[in-house]
Structure 1
């Protein structure tokens, strides 16, 4: 199963981690090690996932945190079923799209504007995970993050580089400047950085749990800050917030069941594209065949168009999920693909872009499995920190549309279309692989390419993550990584694809752990495009 090991197939890389008792894969080594330590101390996969996410909040603060949202797919052996958790926050009850339109705005300002700040859903999600499935207390799983925030952590290379690009934007908010800059500069790579206000907040949550965040001091500070700065958030918004346990959606691909969370997430776009791919005979097609990439690009375009047209908060709109995932629909969509020419350029510009997210996979010794994702949306979210909480507030509300005819139109107490999506592969009712590829609109595209690499070409996990990627951009152009062969690029251009060669486009960061029942082992991989790693024991 996914065992065609060819080390360094796509250039110098690392080998997958093969272990037996537990594995963690994520985008920052200190976080991965913290999650592994929880497993070694007797915690289960859920305990480890929350601990890892909490450490990521500290060591990769531009990408994630308790000021953002989270989603998870969880398989616990005691329940013998896959469940999904939607921990995304809603807009404020006071949200007023007509006010914004009256002010001449066509989009919601993403930065330094509290009207882009939905209620943070992540910590409620962490709490529900621990209460339902955890074997440790919230205090225990938050302790590694508290230690790093209080005593400091060395800034890793890609995180330091990303941080340095945000100095000007962080400087506009006094609380953000004092918390996340050092005398007006970003921390250097390798420099030890402390986030003491965040350490204090995490300690409050360790002691007071959910109530401390949504009913107590933390919510009060955020609401007071919002009131002073023309925001919409109220205490009622926080008190009424709750995460939702949901039934995952899936499709079959190559004998495996690929699961995503249902809307308001964009995972459905990956499943639509996989269904379209199934309609084409791909036996004997080489991995780097121009026809293969052309087919994936076209299938992804169609999936993204459906995403743009249909997906929002399902409590506000009847989303035809069953129809979109039906094989009859896939067959009709497949007829639109011409293998000689690309589809007319698609315009997806109303889909807002935010690439800053963390994804993690965890499997424990009992083969409990967690696929987990947490995000602030854009880098450092809104660039706003409320009071002395140290919490960066997400700007997920910028994802709403101000077009009153659009399905994702802003409304009070509504969840917007969400980019962050955890994935899970299963076979015969058992988990095969938690996986994810963080990176805004790259996420469903990364899921598609990773699954195809594994199922269609039997690649090992690390090679499947290393493989060169494309990305359908929101203007319809196709960004490609430098590692594509020149012959492939020329062939794609001959099919009328507008390519962005050697661009600065971010092609995501993937993590995955294979549960190998034949050898009773775990095989874990981590994307070389990020600072992170897979660890196990």
Structure 2
């Protein structure tokens, strides 16, 4: 329990149901769905649709989505991969011929097919309970009448203001007086409201066919992309069997490739073989960083689209392999031979819901980098993701760009089970940071006994461009200890990532929710 002499946020406690999102409007809307008889899936979709409006830098209908869910009545846990493919006729050689040595960050050539809407449709058809169109009413209202820009959204908006001049259509919809929208101002998206109405009325056909699809394809063609109507209409989410490892009595679930989730499993497996430390010590953060470098190295070597490459998932879940890696770590010194992981910062949003029947869902939705490709289809108001930047142009690499491929994906929903029932339902935001973020959150709770809010609040560190980045809240003694062990430490420009989590206590029959103060949101329970 936190010390109430200091500022902070209490864990939110409830008995029947709980929701945690990165925006108060989304948390309130999702909680309203639960109160009106909807289940966890209904609430998660409602929140995702609304976040697509009120967090335009992080997520949208033009992005991708992944899901981990648990159906209580069936005792079944499932994974859903909602990542879209690259255009069917675009090749790596074609990009190299245009002068690219790496994947473009912004613009039409960085866009892959958006998978989020198809994911929501499939999730609702198989597991939802309320009428589909009801789930979109809060989002339609916010896009039509406007919403008040929240403070963290405004911070990100200002930080990436210059990128929004990529096209005149983008600037017209996401800038005001040639500047970013500020906290407290009202932002309206009437074109996006029309698209949300189409989706509410027609399901996936309202997005992947008809005038919305026409607008997306025509806009991308103007930017040189060959993404076609066939590519869009062929977008299909699909169920996957989660991977898992045992971490000190908890079954930790992650999605398989093309998702990076296995990276967190390997990281946790490595940590199991390292000495126990104090939770707020330089030694603890050093071991976390070194373990992450090894886990990310494995990711960067081997994860790609399993339809196009053989991904050896066993390396990420095998305890003996992790023990060998752990033996390479020097507790007193960083090991340069591990190399530097390829890490990028990005934004996303994650939603955690548990309902009164014990159903649980973690849904994560993303445009990848802040504002994705920065390309808006003008008639539909759809801001498109830049997931193509997740590929590389290394010939023969498992994640080399190619036609009709899914890139290595950073967004990873999280769940742990205890006795085959959900115990922690969570997600961590922040692009490549997410794998180490998952590991830090779980170890904060399992190893060090922090409550779910304390576990989210704890200062963070992450390898980025040769530096061990830390948040400004990291104490000086930890920074000094990392420096003494050979890390090049620098303070991160923006807070590192974000998280939403719900801890389930089966013995007491209670729920505990935490929401990241690095974002604008909150947990709500009853």
**TM tier, smaller:** over 0.9
Contact 2:362–2:413 (CA<8 Å) still a contact in 1? yes
Aligned residues: 526
4+ residue runs of structure 1 moved beyond 6 angstroms?
none
Q: Which of 319, 344, 349 does residue 353 from structure 1 map onto?
A: 344
SS in 2 for 1:357: strand
Contact 1:345–1:477 (CA<8 Å) still a contact in 2? no
Q: Deviations over 1:189-245 (max 9, x none)?
A: 111221111111000111111112112221121112222331121011012111110
Contact 2:245–2:269 (CA<8 Å) still a contact in 1? yes
State the distance in 2 between where 1:106 and 1:352 align: 17
SS in 1 for 2:375: coil
Are 1:492 and 2:488 matched, yes or no?
Answer: no
SS in 2 for 1:512: strand
5+ residue gaps, structure 2, are: none
Contact 1:108–1:400 (CA<8 Å) still a contact in 2? yes
Q: Which residue does 1:523 correspond to in 2?
A: 512
Are 1:118 and 2:108 matched, yes or no?
Answer: no
Are 1:319 and 2:314 matched, yes or no?
Answer: no
| TM-score normalised by the chain length of structure 2 | 0.97
State the distance in 1 between where 2:156 and 2:399 align: 30
SS in 2 for 1:86: strand
State the distance in 2 between where 1:220 and 1:192 align: 29
| TM-score normalised by the chain length of structure 1 | 0.95
Q: Deviations over 1:447-487 (max 9, x none)?
A: 111111000011111111111111122x3421112333322
Contact 2:343–2:463 (CA<8 Å) still a contact in 1? no
5+ residue gaps, structure 1, are: none
Contact 1:90–1:415 (CA<8 Å) still a contact in 2? yes
Q: Which residue does 1:329 correspond to in 2?
A: 321
Contact 2:70–2:361 (CA<8 Å) still a contact in 1? yes
Q: Which of 17, 22, 45 does residue 22 from structure 1 map onto?
A: 17
Structure 1 residues 347, 173: CA separation in 2 closer, same or farther (over 3 Å shift)?
A: farther
State the distance in 1 between where 2:161 and 2:332 align: 47
Deviation of the 1:289 alpha carbon: 2.6
State the distance in 1 between where 2:10 and 2:340 align: 37
Deviation of the 1:102 alpha carbon: 1.8
SS in 1 for 2:125: helix
Q: Which residue does 1:424 correspond to in 2?
A: 415
Q: Which residue does 2:358 correspond to in 1?
A: 367
Q: Which of 470, 485, 493 does residue 461 from structure 2 map onto?
A: 470
Are 1:274 and 2:268 matched, yes or no?
Answer: yes
State the distance in 1 between where 2:404 and 2:182 align: 40
SS in 1 for 2:227: coil
Contact 2:263–2:316 (CA<8 Å) still a contact in 1? no
Q: Deviations over 1:227-269 (max 9, x none)?
A: 2331121011012111110001111112111111111111111
Deviation of the 1:346 alpha carbon: 4.8
Q: Which residue does 1:134 correspond to in 2?
A: 128
State the distance in 2 between where 1:324 and 1:367 align: 30
Q: Which residue does 2:53 correspond to in 1?
A: 58
State the distance in 1 between where 2:398 and 2:93 align: 16
State the distance in 1 between where 2:343 and 2:92 align: 17
Structure 1 residues 232, 487: CA separation in 2 closer, same or farther (over 3 Å shift)?
A: same
Structure 1 residues 291, 165: CA separation in 2 closer, same or farther (over 3 Å shift)?
A: closer
SS in 2 for 1:147: helix
Deviation of the 1:347 alpha carbon: 4.5
Q: Which residue does 1:309 correspond to in 2?
A: 301
Contact 1:118–1:394 (CA<8 Å) still a contact in 2? yes
Contact 2:483–2:489 (CA<8 Å) still a contact in 1? yes
